[in-house]
């Protein structure tokens, strides 16, 4: 995609579908003669298909969070380079700007892809207004009207959680700078971003997200989709609402929408780990990403080099280092047991892999392995794809469990967490006693407990009012979600909204000294810097400090499967 440095939103999809020669047009009020008019329901639906982004913030969020460690610190005598320069910047919580516009997984590609999707949704909404006086009540258009608004809500929801402060409460978040909430189809390339309509607070962004969710959630009709899993179907819409209201701490609504997605028997919709074939990594991927699986509420195909990053062996899930106070993330995520199981989570047997000759260099779950699309098989080049699951039954179940704790319904929360462990092939029942034993003490003595600061995030947060048993259930929920969403980046959102302290130790490839840095609940570096081209376009940069107090064309060589080693034995 071309870097349109004057435009904060990429209109690439619109250019392809509606406008030819955009770079030579400053006023788009008059369509060129060869413009494709969006003048019927089928064209609206086709347009919305292109609104789903082909990028996710998983890489930058995982590098910013606490799932990955620097192998140069925990593995003796290693001096690995990062796979890409911006990976090192992300891990150090620096402004991420050392990349080209052609690289995948960067803040630029996330910002561009998500605002591109927003632009498409806005053009679809505008087209529907031209087709009907009341699209929401038009039998032919209501479904697409709902999908467009849900898309617009979701894309802004991701952007605000990456590039702004976490939601705290109405009063505090009204003073936190958010991101532009774009609800109109842009007609010009040159835009004055000093206009107040583009400067939204986090609180206002959340209000607009909620408005769009409520506008669309009752309108989507799964029968209108050829493959519902790649669209905002009913379950995905309810899962979005559940996560949104959890982050906003409206727990009753979170439970309402999570239950609408999960139904009366959550166990029936959870992933069937026991039935997944571990013959090859490709069969595992196919089973995991099955578009008909009831657990996969929504699938998202992306261009991502996450697998390539792990193969470089610099940043990985590893056994940690007691000498350097680096947690064993391998134990936290799949080897160290839980409140009702010991050792490796049984669901992951035969499904954990590593690159290279030694498992100490980092291991990873099969789900992040890439699909490779050849453009030239002889040359071995093409495009790298990774499928993500923005919404699943498992993550929605954990949203509900967290909300139930704050509503005083700990028995229901325990039941939901029990559904999760059972689906992961844990035979022993989950009990309060087991949770109390696993999550006892504090983060200084127990790696399964996060250093939480909810009261510092908001005086309205009721975490400190919970009983000790309830607090331990919250730690259990956060642990389970950390396992469930590894490689997706959602842990970073939990870190931000709970004010979790993160410790990064790192050693550059060409030095011997090990550096330690801590990201506390009030550190401005928790807000990722917006892309430089957006700043150049006139939108103010985020207020970040370095410390608190104190291949361009997308062609890549295929990864040979023989380099992957199964650690499932």
What number of CA atoms fall less than 13 Å from residue 41's CA on the CB side? 13
pLDDT recorded at residue 39? 81
Mean pLDDT over each residue of the chain, to the nearest integer: 88
Taking only the tens place, the pLDDT of each residue in 277-310 is: 777 899 999 999 999 999 999 999 999 999 989 8
Average pLDDT over residues 457-483: 97
Residue 181 C-alpha from the chain's centroid = 19
Contact 184, 122 (CB under 8 A): yes
Mean pLDDT lowest among 100-109, 179-188, 458-467:
179-188
Whether pLDDT at 10 is above 70: no
CA distances from 155 to 49, 77, 127 (A): 14, 43, 20
Please tell me the number of Cα atoms within 13 Å of 66 on its side-chain side: 31
- Per-residue confidence (pLDDT) for residue 356, from 0 to 100: 63
Would the pLDDT of 561 be above 50? Answer: no
* Mean pLDDT, rounded, for 1-24: 33
Other Cβ atoms closer than 10 A to 551: 12
Model-wide pTM > 0.85? yes
At which residue do the structure tokens 């099969």 appear? Answer: 366
pLDDT for 115 equals 95
pLDDT tens digit string along 367-398? 999 888 888 888 888 888 999 999 999 999 99
What per-residue confidence (pLDDT) applies to 349?
Answer: 93
CB 504 within 8 A of CB 70: yes
pLDDT for residue 405 = 98
pLDDT above 90: residue 406: yes
Distances (CA, A) of 179 to 151, 273, 537, 555: 16, 39, 14, 32
Comparing 172-176, 364-368, 455-459, which segment has the lowest mean pLDDT?
364-368
What are the tens digits of pLDDT across the range 234-258? 999 999 999 999 999 999 999 999 9
Q: Which residue has the tokens 């430089």?
A: 532
Dihedral of CA atoms 449, 162, 70, 316 in degrees, nearest 10, equals: 80
Would you say residue 471 has pLDDT above 50? yes
**133, HSE (Cβ side, Cα atoms, 13 Å):** 0
pLDDT computed for residue 360 by the predictor:
67
Give tens-digit pLDDT for 155-201.
999 999 999 999 999 999 999 999 999 998 877 666 666 677 777 99
Residue 139 pLDDT > 50, yes or no? yes
Q: Phi and psi dihedrals of 201, rounded to 5?
A: -75, 165
Residue 261 CB neighbour total at 10 angstroms: 26
- Mean pLDDT value across residues 195-222: 93
Structure confidence at residue 357 (pLDDT):
53
In order of start, what are the domains of the chain with their CATH numbers?
A: 1-56+105-224 (1.25.40.390)
Evaluate if residue 559 carries a pLDDT over 90. no
Summarize the confidence of residues 303-320 as an average pLDDT: 91
Do 83 and 312 meet the contact criterion of CB atoms below 8 Å apart?
Answer: yes
Per-residue pLDDT at 27 exceeds 70:
no
> With pLDDT > 70 as the criterion, what percentage of the chain qualifies?
87
Mean pLDDT, rounded, for 391-410: 98
* Contact between 255 and 376 (Cβ < 8 Å): no
Q: At what angle do helices 393-406 and 251-262 cross, to 10 degrees?
A: 150
Calculate mean pLDDT across residues 487-503: 97
Q: Where are the alpha helices (DSSP H) in 431-526?
A: 432-438, 454-457, 468-484, 490-498
What pLDDT was estimated at residue 234?
98
């Amino acid at each position: 995609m071309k870097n349109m440095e004057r435009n904060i939103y990429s209109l690439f999809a619109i250019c392809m579908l509606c406008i030819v020669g955009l770079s030579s047009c400053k006023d788009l009020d008059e369509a060129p003669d060869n413009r494709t008019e969006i003048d019927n329901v089928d064209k609206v639906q086709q347009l919305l298909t292109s609104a789903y982004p082909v990028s996710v913030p998983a890489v930058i969020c995982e590098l910013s969070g606490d799932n990955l460690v620097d192998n140069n610190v925990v593995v003796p005598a290693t001096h690995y380079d990062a796979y890409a320069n911006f990976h090192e910047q992300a891990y150090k919580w620096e402004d991420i700007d050392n990349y080209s516009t052609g690289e995948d997984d960067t803040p630029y590609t996330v910002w561009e892809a998500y605002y591109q999707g927003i632009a498409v949704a806005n053009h679809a909404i505008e087209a529907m207004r031209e087709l009907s006086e009341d699209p929401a009540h038009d039998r032919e258009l209501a479904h697409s009207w709902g999908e467009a608004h849900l898309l617009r809500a979701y894309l802004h929801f991701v952007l605000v959680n990456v590039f702004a402060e976490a939601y705290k409460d109405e009063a505090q978040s009204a003073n936190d700078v958010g991101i532009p909430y774009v609800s109109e189809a842009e007609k010009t390339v040159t835009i004055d971003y000093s206009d107040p309509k583009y400067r939204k607070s986090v609180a206002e962004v959340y209000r607009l997200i909620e408005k769009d969710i409520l506008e669309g959630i009752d309108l989507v009709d799964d029968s209108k989709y050829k493959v519902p899993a790649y669209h905002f179907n009913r379950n995905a819409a309810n899962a979005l609402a559940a996560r949104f209201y959890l982050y906003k701490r409206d727990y009753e609504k979170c439970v309402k929408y999570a239950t609408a997605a999960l139904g009366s028997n959550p166990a029936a919709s959870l992933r069937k780990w026991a039935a997944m074939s571990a013959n090859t990594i490709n069969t595992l991927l196919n089973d995991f990403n099955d578009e008909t699986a009831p657990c996969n509420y929504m699938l998202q195909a992306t261009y991502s080099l996450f697998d390539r990053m792990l193969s470089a062996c610099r940043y990985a899930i590893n056994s940690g280092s007691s000498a350097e106070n680096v947690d064993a993330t391998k134990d936290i995520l799949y080897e160290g047991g839980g409140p009702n199981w010991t050792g490796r989570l049984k669901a992951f047997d035969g499904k954990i892999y590593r690159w290279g000759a030694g498992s100490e260099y980092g291991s990873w779950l099969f789900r992040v392995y890439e699909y490779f699309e050849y453009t030239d098989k002889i040359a071995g080049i093409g495009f790298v794809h990774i499928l993500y699951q923005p919404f699943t039954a498992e993550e929605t179940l954990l949203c509900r469990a967290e909300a139930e704790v704050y509503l005083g319904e700990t028995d229901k929360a325990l039941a939901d967490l029990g559904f999760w462990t059972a689906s992961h092939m844990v035979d022993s029942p989950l009990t309060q006693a087991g949770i109390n034993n696993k999550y006892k003490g504090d983060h200084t003595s127990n790696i399964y407990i996060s250093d939480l600061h909810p009261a510092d995030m908001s005086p309205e947060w009721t975490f400190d009012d919970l009983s000790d048993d309830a607090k331990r259930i919250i730690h259990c929920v956060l642990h389970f979600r950390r396992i469930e969403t590894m490689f997706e980046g959602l842990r970073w959102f939990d870190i931000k909204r709970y004010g979790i302290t993160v410790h990064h130790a790192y050693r550059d490839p060409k030095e011997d000294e090990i550096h330690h840095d801590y990201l506390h609940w009030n550190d401005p570096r928790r807000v990722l810097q917006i892309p430089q081209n957006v700043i150049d376009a006139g939108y103010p940069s985020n207020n970040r400090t370095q410390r608190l107090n104190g291949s361009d064309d997308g062609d890549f060589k295929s990864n040979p499967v023989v380099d992957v080693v199964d650690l499932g034995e």
